[in-house]
Amino acid sequence: MCERSRFNRIKRNLVSVTDELRNRLNTYISATNSQYRIIDSFLLPVCKFGRAHFNKSFKGYGADYGYCPSKKEMYYGYKVHVLCTLEGHVTDYVITPASVDDRAAIYELIENYQRPLTLFGDKGYIGDGLAAELLSQYGVTLIAMKRDNAKNPYPKAFRQFIFKLRRRIETSISQLCGQLSIENVVAKSLWGLHTRIVGKLLAFNLCWFINSLLGHSPISNIKHLVY
């Protein structure tokens, strides 16, 4: 084995190969509904908020201040936007500065997808004219709703169905953060950060692929592969 610093340099140089492996696995892990995707995002703080002013690793590389509604606090870093299948397999991602609105990342996420395409999102993807623009100009149907049932024009059964779908991507993000520590930023550069995220997503996809080969059900249960 080579020394750690050399290994990390080799890994960074091979990030495009790692990402290609991730894309190839997308074709092997069958998706029941290929024209449907669930969309969401998670935060990626690069340091503690109190040390953001002194952080030099990501200065000039897009890191900025964003707000976390769930924790009701500001943070410094990035945001990762992801698409996953109805089964929870992550198929694509985009890294943006923390201040970028979730809705702005949709256009880059859907670039390589065939139409028609239907996206299921939460209240963060509600916007005046956004759904109409995506449908008319890009052939993408966006279904986003708030938790408050009184403000949703959809029938109760349909709302419950969408909320059940939403829990699938929330579980996948929880696995990425809790079991694969994707939120734990140890990189010192944007290149290293990108390499780390690609590697974590590939590891997540590999767990799905191994489960499918072994006949495990559900294939989204990755914890028993380690413990």
Instruction: Quick: pLDDT tens for 172-191.
Output: 999 999 889 998 888 888 88
What's the CATH code of the domain at 127?
3.30.420
For position 82, what pLDDT does the model report?
A: 95
Name the residue with higher pLDDT: 161 or 48. 161
Query: At residue 7, does pLDDT exceed 90?
Result: no
Residue 40 has pLDDT above 90, yes or no: yes
Q: Is residue 96 part of a domain?
A: yes
Give the per-residue pLDDT at 31.
53
pTM (two decimals): 0.87
Q: What's the CA gap between 78 and 54, in Å, rounded?
A: 17
**Would 9 be classed as within a structural domain?**
no
> Residue type at 225?
L
* pLDDT tens for each residue of 104-160: 999 999 988 888 899 999 888 988 889 999 999 999 999 987 766 556 677 778 888
In terms of phi and psi (left: phi > 0; alpha: psi -120 to 50; beta: otherwise), the region of 184 is: beta
Helix or strand or coil: residue 77? strand
- Helix axes of 190-214 and 4-13: crossing angle, nearest 10 degrees: 80
Q: Does residue 8 lie in a domain region?
A: no
Q: Identify whether 20 is part of a domain.
A: no
149 located within any domain: yes
SS3 call for 217:
coil
What's the domain count of the chain? Answer: 1
Please give the residue range of the domain that contains residue 204: 35-225
Average pLDDT, the chain: 85
Cβ proximity of 124 and 41 under 8 Å: yes
pLDDT confidence of residue 35? 86
Longest dimension (CA), the chain: 60
pLDDT at 161: 85
Task: Please indicate, yes or no, if residue 57 is contained in any of the structural domains.
Answer: yes
In a domain? residue 138: yes
Contact 118, 36 (CB under 8 A): yes
Dist CA 47 CA 25 (whole Å): 32
Asked if residue 30 belongs to a domain, the reply is no
Residue 223 has pLDDT above 90, yes or no: no
Please tell me the predicted confidence (pLDDT) of residue 106: 94
